[in-house]
Amino acid sequence: MATFKTTFLFYYSILLLSSIFSTQTTSSPDHQPLKTYIIQLHPQAMSLSPSLFKSKLHFHLSFLQKIINDPPSSRLLYSYRSAMDGFAAQLSDSELHSMQKLHHVIAIRPDRVHKLHTTYSYKFLGLSPTIKTGAWVKSGFGRGSIIGVLDTGVWPESPSFNDQGMPPVPTKWRGLCQPGDSFNTSNCNKKLIGARFFSKGHRVASVTPTENEVSEYLSARDSHGHGTHTASTAAGSAVPMASVLGNGAGEARGMAPGSHIAIYKVCWFSGCYSSDILAAMDEAIRDGVDILSLSLGGFPIPLYDDSIAIGSFRAMEHKISVICAAGNNGPIANSVANVAPWVATVGASTLDRRFPAVVRMGDGRFLYGESMYPGNLHPGSEKVLEVVYLNGGDRGSNYCFKDSLPRDKVAGKMVVCDRGVNGRAEKGQVVKESGGAAMILANTEINMEEDSIDAHVLPATLIGFTESVHLKNYINSTKRPTARIIFGGTEIGKTRAPSVAQFSSRGPSFMDPVIPKPDIIAPGVNILAAWPQNLGPSGLPEDSRRVNFTVMSGTSMSCPHVGGLAALIRAAHPKWSPAAIKSALMTTADTTDHYGKPIMDGNKPAGILAMGSGHVNPERAIQPGLIYDISPNDYIVHLCGIGYTKSQIFTITHRNVSCHDMMKKNRGFSLNYPSISVVFGSGMNSKMIKRRVTNVGDPNSVYTIKVVPPEGVKVRVRPRRLTFSRLNQSLSYRVWLILRKSSGSKRGKFGQGQLTWMNLKDDKIKIRSPILVTRSSNKNKNHM
């Protein structure tokens, strides 16, 4: 645990520094620099003097009026009233000190920058419009559900947002289509029912784009592509003959093609600011969304400092499912972000679709690589070239930085570029500008064999770390090394999948060590989805090619997959809580790949801290049989149980509680989470936890237990049989976990197992919970 704390303090200090350096530097009248802060107020503060203020906005302005000489409205960025009670404003250091002293101010946080973390994936997940008992048909393709996407905006003209065949806009919808730069109300329709943009936090950061940046639209229109890609992944309409320059051809569909989309643009060229994100969540709650998809985040931070965690708690209270990306900082342990137990945290997995672009070296050996460059359609792309790898000096030539490649050394040649630091496609542009004819992008040790690919601007391929070692050995042992790239188009079904993506962030979480995160994994590598017409498929400003689709990789792509699947479940079961929807997704997830073998994480079977409960299986999740439900009050008891203070819990939940009283009323409390995790501190050798399942299947159902215990742990479950006589009936069970004295397991080691409730009438219905046991040398009282 000491190592966890040290790493956490390192991460957190970096985050605090980034918060400080990212804020704007305009000055107050006394020449003190201004920074953006989010000021959280007591939720009942205004009710104590309602006659004094016309609205929440006027109430919030009154706080600024007390401490600044400028007009209050000149400093106010946002007034929050749904995701949180409070406001965002610009303050000097002295004004911040004065604000902290004001009555009803309960927390002040600096504005932080968060980073942005298909034709085939729906088929890979088993979704089909022709199966009458399948998830698409049962849910009406997500009909009636509204998915709110917080991202870089949308390109509304994309065919993925065509509203042909869409049902009318739901009567509950209260949002709007906000006009702006190259965007007006006519850009919305029955598919894209709302669009807003939030730029005040970004604008006052005083960061100017570089000359190579794509021009921004001051509207909901997308100038980066990320938001268009994620929105279409979640709920894009069917588009026949979709491809990227001829690769990956097929019919493109989102996970919930019958659902509606609402766009909230919060991300700009400098990132996504927490003040803008919170303002978007504030509006989305009032607009009436059912699902919120957030493909953004950063390093893990405490929940009481996390605007997304605070806003999502309010959203959950309004029955909104919040789906978040786990982050792209894997395979480093403890890197998982967005870990609040009331959100679904999604890691990334691979598909069994590949785009081979094999390197044939001059000595006749082959190196496997992949690329979206359409070399198979351009025969001249496969000619033999001299290979160069410039790894000397201090110009970063091995990474192919801009202006690092001397033209006389690379002109007409195939250039090897190490992966890392600058963008993959950007390296190809540098090679092209320097006169190079082709590129081999070589994974370094940290990337291993991970194969995120791009639609490069010149003939290029990406090879794994093992292949890169062979290539460099060949270059170093040959006077004039040569090679050619052989492009193979698209292949499906020839490789094992899914597996965990190397970049997908890993647990355990510092913020809540007894809730395993991520919760689940979903497709996130080489995902093909919609793309704006103002960008080339590489996303580079210099790329003049134009396409309707491109490929991207990241947990940003995994997140909208689950957001769309949550919309399907919501449409099929409109009365279910966010916890019930997440339970359905987690307890029906797969732990084996399409070959029936364990899902892999690199060269080893994937564990809970890499894949959570497993890989999403929508066909099973739509009818799970049993669900684990959780009320908002249960989360508060859980926060008390893991040591959060009264003031910290109040900041997160706006609930004024006594943890002493709550724990006294809930002795032996276990959060009713779909996965099971126990931390054994020093001197502990046994632990009992409770769970409660609700029958959402056949009214008369019987389930029996099957347990695979973690190594060195005895697991006992009582009762071993659950007999239900009606729909929505809830039954409880207990689990005892006992460390075996002769296990020989070292302290601090993780043990993994699983607990599954098996339906006696239907062997397809299995409700599985992974079990994670952590042995720690620390004396603690961590419990479920």
> Which of 276-290, 547-561, 671-685 has the largest mean confidence?
276-290
Q: What share of the chain is helix, strand, coil (3-state, %, to 5)?
A: 25, 25, 45
| Whole-number Å distance between alpha carbons of 192 and 164 | 11
Helix (H, G, I), strand (E, B) or coil at 234: helix
pLDDT tens-place string over residues 280-289: 999 999 999 9
- Token match 């064999």: residue? 449
Confidence (pLDDT) at 269:
86
Greater model confidence, 626 or 52: 626
Residues of the chain with pLDDT > 90, as a percent, come to 67
Determine the pLDDT at residue 619: 94
**pLDDT: is 511 or 577 the higher one?**
577
Q: Could you give the CA distance from residue 423 to residue 421 in angstroms, rounded to a whole number?
A: 7
Q: Which of 39-53, 540-554, 584-598, 722-736 has the lowest mean pLDDT?
A: 39-53
Task: Please give the residue that has the higher pLDDT: either 695 or 399.
Answer: 695
pLDDT value at residue 276:
96
Hunting for tokens 């302005």 — which residue is that?
A: 61
pLDDT at position 31: 62
Between CA 298 and CA 328 the distance in angstroms is: 9
Per-residue pLDDT averaged across 129-136, rounded? 80
Catalytic positions? 151, 226, 556
Average pLDDT over residues 5-12: 36
Q: Does position 436 have pLDDT exceeding 90, yes or no? A: yes
Residue 329 one-letter amino acid: N
The rounded mean pLDDT for the chain is 89
Distance between CA 372 and CA 298 in Å, rounded? 28
Cα 438 to chain centroid distance, Å, stands at 33
Which of 301-305, 396-400, 511-515, 524-528 has the least mean pLDDT? 511-515
Least confident interval from 133-147, 207-221, 456-470, 533-547: 207-221
Q: Please state the rounded mean pLDDT for residues 558-564.
A: 97
| Amino acid 14: pLDDT | 36
Cis peptide before 331 (omega within 30 of 0): yes
243-293 residue pLDDT tens: 888 788 888 899 999 999 999 999 998 889 999 999 999 999 999 999 999
Question: Mean pLDDT across the stretch 155-159?
Answer: 96
Query: pLDDT, tens digit, for every residue of 74-96?
Result: 999 999 999 999 999 999 999 99
Segment among 117-126, 154-163, 331-340 with least mean pLDDT:
117-126
Contact 162, 237 (CB under 8 A): yes
Q: ω before 508 within 30° of 0 (cis)? A: yes
* Tokens of residue 366, six digits: 């082959």
Residue 634 pLDDT > 70: yes
Res 11 pLDDT > 70: no
As a whole number, mean pLDDT of residues 18-26 equals: 37
Number of separate helices (H) and strands (E) present in the chain: 19, 40
Which among 745, 625, 714 is positioned nearest to 674, based on CA atoms? 625
The position carrying tokens 């050619």 is 484
Flag whether pLDDT at 491 surpasses 90. Answer: no
How would DSSP label each residue in 117-173?
Answer: ---SHHHHTT--TT-TTSHHHHTGGGTT-EEEEEES-B-TTSGGG--TTPPPPPTT-
Give the pLDDT of residue 648: 95
Question: Could you tell me the pLDDT band of residue 6, with boundaries at 50, 70 and 90?
Answer: very low
pLDDT band at 2 (very low <50, low <70, confident <90, very high): very low
Residue 214: pLDDT band by 50, 70, 90 thresholds? low
Query: How many CA atoms within 13 Å lie on the side-chain side of 752?
Result: 14
Cα separations (Å) of 699 from 175, 473, 628, 693, 694? 39, 66, 17, 14, 11
How far apart are alpha carbons 603 and 368 in whole angstroms? Answer: 17
| Model confidence at 18: pLDDT above 50 | no
Model confidence, pTM = 0.89
CA separation for the pair 732, 742 (Å, rounded): 31
Q: Which single residue is written with the structure tokens 């029958």? A: 695
Pairing relation of β-strands 353-354 and 491-492?
Answer: antiparallel
Using pLDDT thresholds of 50, 70 and 90, give the confidence band for residue 128: confident
Lowest pLDDT segment from 40-49, 316-325, 350-359, 643-652: 40-49
Q: What secondary structure does DSSP assign to 318-334, as a single string?
A: TT-EEEEE--S-TTSTT
> What per-residue confidence (pLDDT) applies to 131?
78
In this model, does residue 155 exceed pLDDT 80?
A: yes
CB of 234 within 8 A of CB of 293? yes
- Is the previous residue joined to 406 through a cis bond, with omega within 30 degrees of 0? no
Q: What percent of the chain has pLDDT over 70?
A: 92
The residue count for the chain: 784
